[in-house]
Amino acid sequence: MLRLYASRFQHNRLAVSGLVVLILLSGIAVIGPWCIHLPPATQNLLERLQPPSFQHWMGTDDLGRDVFSRMVYGTRVSLSVGFIAVGVAVTIGTFLGLVAGFFGGWWDTAIMRSVDVMLSIPTIFLLLTVLAFLNPNIYNVMAVIGLTAWPGLARLVRGECLSVRERDYILAARVAGLSNGRILFVHILPNVAAPILVSATLGVGGAVLTESALSFLGLGVQPPMASWGNILSIGRDYLHLAWWLTLFPSLAILITVMAFNFLGEGLRDVLDPRL
């Protein structure tokens, strides 16, 4: 089965290209900071707003900091926020979706009405409202994104659970006297894992984009810590003087989000039993 999945995945060029890009970005996030000779917070006002050169591959910002080193450190920040925030959202959404779909009744009603309330509020406004009352930092950004991204996944898992719980092997497990917890996490969860994996992959790209937007607005990762969003925010003020402050972080965000989307679409095609 795994060989079949691998063969189908290899024939999806966009998914393969997305995976390659993400492997490269992960390598930059893990190894890159150890290879940078110039710390991202090092300022040199004599070299402020210098264009790309052999000394500064992506130029310098308004404080003379090397943009390339800040982009490398920003890769670690953006991917960390994406993976951790989606991990929180997947944990909450999967658990609540399984409970709602398996037990039904008032559990289902309470959880789904909560999901409806969350989905009725525009996500960006909810994030801005919550972060306005918190100290903006990377940990709060991770927590807030994760705690606001679970409703869609909970609804997806509930729908899959409603389908799986009526199958013969689940009825056999009930007759055998297995506990509800064992049925949920041993028999149902593995059979709804495929859509969860696809949703999580797509969600990481969305979380990276959300973090960049919040940092751009000044409510995300705070200086001197580097992130693609706050580099882009600085570039907004010097768009007519320093194009590189806008170009490089914009390309990084675009390529990362597209790579996650290509990978997620490819996994959905590979794991779709109808194909």
Taking only the tens place, the pLDDT of each residue in 179-197 is: 888 888 888 888 888 889 8
User: How many Cα atoms are found within 13 Å in the side-chain-facing hemisphere of 16?
Assistant: 9
- pLDDT (average), residues 120-131: 81
Nearest-Å Rg of the Cα atoms of the chain is: 22
Q: Is pLDDT at 256 greater than 90 in this prediction? A: yes
Given the structure tokens 């041993």, which residue do they identify?
186
- pLDDT (average), residues 16-39: 87
pTM comes to: 0.88
- pLDDT (average), residues 105-117: 90
Q: How far apart are CA 129 and CA 120, in angstroms?
A: 15
Per-residue confidence band for 133, with pLDDT thresholds at 50, 70 and 90: confident
Q: Is pLDDT at 275 greater than 60 in this prediction? A: no
Supply the pLDDT for residue 1.
61
Q: Looking at residue 50, what DSSP letter applies?
A: P
Supply the pLDDT for residue 170.
84
Supply the pLDDT for residue 138.
83
Per-residue confidence band for 273, with pLDDT thresholds at 50, 70 and 90: low
Q: Looking at residue 60, what DSSP letter applies?
A: B
- 66 φ, ψ to 5°? -70, 120
Q: Is pLDDT at 250 greater than 60 in this prediction? A: yes
- What's the farthest any 2 CA atoms get from each other in the chain? 77
Nearest to 92 by CA among 108, 115, 110, 109: 115
Domain boundaries, the chain: 77-271
Class (C level, CATH) for 77-271: mainly alpha
pLDDT, tens only, 76-85:
999 999 999 9
- Residue 80's contacts (CB-CB under 8 Å, 6 or more residues apart) are 29, 138, 142
In a 3-state reduction of DSSP, which class is residue 226?
Answer: coil
Instruction: Check the CA dihedral 107-109-110-111 and report its sign.
Output: positive
Q: Looking at residue 106, what DSSP letter applies?
A: H
Instruction: Check the CA dihedral 10-13-14-16 and report its sign.
Output: positive
Give the mean pLDDT of the chain: 87
